Amino acid sequence: MRADESSPECACVSLALLVPYDGGRASSTRRGLTRHANDGPVAQSNRGDAHHSRSSAFGLSSARESPRRTTGLLSSEKDNDDGPRFTDPSGDEGPVSNLASDLRAAAREGFGTRARNVAETMAAGDVVVPICGNLERRSALAQRGLYAGVEYVINEIEGGSVTLRPAYRLRPHLERSDWPVTLPVSDVPLWLSKTTYQAGTALGTAGLAASFLAMAFIASTFLRLVVVPSESMEPSLVPGDVVLVTRSVLPPRVGDVVFFDPPAELDEAIANSKIGQIAKDENVQIASTKGKQFIKRVVGVPGERAGVRGSSPFVSSCKGNECIVRVDKTGEYQRPDVFAAESWDRETQILERGEFFVAGDNGYRSVDSRVWGPLRRKYIFGTAQWIVSPSHFGPIPPGPFETQALSK
């Protein structure tokens, strides 16, 4: 997580190296942390009960402190108003109440570059977090026992110097034998309260998680990895190839390899085929193509005249007395008798808006627009961009097109 700072040299650092502290210096209680007897008495602030209340807000308690009051997240009452509040059945304040209280306190103190520096208001017993983004300065502070981004309990503040120790046990390589340490308050560019730091960390983590979710949503919406299932696109694509497909924003062009849902015309062509008639006579149901996807190459685009001659799709365009014919040399289907004879010799027809003529590079194993006619754009998901299989990596090769010039 990256947080903004109140000065150019200040930045947030990770708490990933931290573990709970005990070590005989602090003992855990039901309400928070209490100084151990061998550490001596906790230094008292001249702010009296107001100080004790704020210390309690940072998770510290003593015999003189009163329990911290937190208004529930769903309550309409203000912090200093008496009234109902949400608590755990055990009597302790619940995580929702604690989070609401922390966010309210952090909102008052600010976030990021607007976070309030508590250097002038912190007192003995407070839990604070030193922040420093300058690497050299941070390293120098670490040598003296002050680690940026770590929570510290203040033992004493006097004469512009602060004596403090970590609020929990650190990693072994960060532990020191001379806790607590003393240093000038001004040596640290920014002191944050525990509440502000934790709230900022929580919001930053939530923002990072939201960013990853947004990226995952975009990737799932606009990108797909498709496994080629058959030999219909050989030799350009072989069975088992993994292809990166991007959702189409612009209309496909001639030569593009498109990934699409099977059109309704395909099921009709299968039902009217020889196999479909046999299945109908024997009262056998043919498996539907619903839920399956195909991958073929674009032969013709809207505005062109497309047809089939000798099982090979072709597109013709004429200007004056000369015609240009683009032939896709796919070859004959393995069982041409299965489908209607017109599938292999179609008269040219103009492709209307949103219609594309598609075919497999290996016509011997491909059922395509030769059988069902033009493919409408609404069925097309996207265009294949790249082969990402380790054994067959690289751009998709061009199709088997031949161009011929004919006179009228």
What contacts 107, CB < 8 A, 6 or more positions away? none
Locate all alpha helices (DSSP H) within 238-394, ordered by sequence: 264-271, 274-281, 369-372
- Of 273, 296, 311, 312, the active-site residue reads 296
**What DSSP state is assigned to residue 39?**
G
Residues 6+ apart with CB under 8 A from 36: 24, 25, 26, 27
Q: Tell me, what amino acid is at 102?
A: D
CA distance 23 to 25: 5
Q: Give the chain's radius of gyration (CA, Å).
A: 36
Residues 301/253, Cβ–Cβ less than 8 Å: yes
The answer to whether 129 touches 152, Cβ cutoff 8 Å, is: yes
Contacts of residue 84, defined as CB under 8 A and 6 or more positions apart, other chains included, come to 72, 75, 77
- Residue type at 272? N
329 given a catalytic annotation: no
Separation of alpha carbons 258 and 399, rounded Å: 13
Catalytic residue among 56, 62, 232, 312: 232
Q: Is 232 a catalytic residue?
A: yes
Per this entry, what is the length of the chain? 408
Give me the phi and psi of 361, to 5 degrees please.
Answer: -65, -30
Catalytic positions are 232, 296
